[in-house]
Amino acid sequence: MSAQAPSAVILVRAQRFKPNPATAADNAFQADAPEGQSDEQTAGKALAEMDALADALRAVGVRVHVFSDEDHTRPDSVFPNNWLSTHAGGSVAVYPMYASNRRHERRSDVLEMLKSEYRVQTIVDYSGLEPDGIFLEGTGAMVLDHLSRVAYAARSHRADTHVLERFCTDFGYEPMAFDAVDSDGVPVYHTNVIGCVGTEVALFALEMIPDEHRREQVRERLSVNGRKVVEITEEQVRQFAGNAVELCGRTPEGRRRYVMAMSESARRSLRPDQVAAIEESCEIVAVDIPTIELAGGSVRCMIAGVHLDRRPPGVEPELTEAVEAIDENPATADGRDVIEDDVLEDA
């Protein structure tokens, strides 16, 4: 698979979805549900949209891990990319979240699945920074170029540059922070609504970076390895054209295929020349998710990519004597007693 495009993803089927009141203050893309629509109706429509995304990704050969969430106190749990990211080489990052009612979206069962099905060597947990008022909401706050090792980040309440630098040091990225605002001067709350980076193409609303010098630096950095930069407008951003993600799927014959997953709203907003530029290197997979987009996020926000090596299915690992002793004798602390008894019997 491409270092940029994961072949597996994590989705959360949030059964009690609704736009989160706790995030509305700084999320200019968030909207209320239609007047007269009950919370149950909103949640039902959102569930159908979540299932449609999972089906569309499976149809193009992407491996999809779906976790259910019935907790009504986690209306935004459909967006797992804000608390979790995975990285080639076996690393996982867990992030500090801005809204207090989002912090318990972090799930141990997701991490346990990753450890059991993929090769995980280390988990770096930054969530302890929350009491200090320091936040970095994962691949919402950052758009990661895994090829050139750059972390693009629009400064906001949800993207603190100090923890950005810590992340970049820990994971080997170059931090590239900038200010990004809409036409009313409101800061962009998440970098991934204004841009995405694929293997050979990037979509980015460079016009929303007011500092011309910094804008040119971002443009140059995006294209330095020959990647084509498709510039999108603020109006297209409001249709979530920037909130897309490149994935690596498989054809029915088993051949690799690259897809750009986005919402139908995003796809409709693109001009024919922009679509053509994207389709030079990957297929567009568009899913209609208007209910979920009420929460101010779209397809990219719904997807936590798995950039880890998969464990071979059906292959049992070779266990040491100590591990076998633990498995067979749960009462032993580390298997030492069983091993020592075996040694004494042999003697």
Per-residue pLDDT, 327: 64
Per-residue pLDDT, 59: 97
Taking phi over 0 as left and psi of -120 to 50 as alpha, with beta for the rest, 89 belongs to left
Asked if residue 4 lies in contact with residue 146, where contact means CB atoms within 8 angstroms, the answer is yes
> Per-residue pLDDT tens for 157-171?
999 999 999 999 999
Strand-strand pairing, 84-87 and 245-250: unpaired
Per-residue pLDDT, 319: 67
**Strands ordered across the beta sheet of 91-94:** 84-87, 91-94, 122-125
Per-residue pLDDT, 337: 57
**Closest by CA position to 196, among listed 294, 62, 297:** 297
Per-residue pLDDT, 24: 81
User: Which tokens hold the place of 99?
Assistant: 């809204």
Strand-strand pairing, 256-263 and 91-94: unpaired
Better pLDDT: 243 or 329:
243
Amino acid at 285: V
**Counts of helices then strands in the chain (DSSP H, E):** 12, 15
Per-residue pLDDT, 21: 85
pLDDT above 70 (res 329) = no
Per-residue pLDDT, 46: 96
User: Which tokens hold the place of 166?
Assistant: 């810590």
Backbone φ and ψ of 56, nearest 5°: -65, -40
Strand-strand pairing, 91-94 and 84-87: antiparallel
pLDDT band, residue 316 (cuts 50/70/90): low
> Per-residue pLDDT tens for 143-158?
999 999 999 999 999 9
pLDDT band, residue 25 (cuts 50/70/90): confident
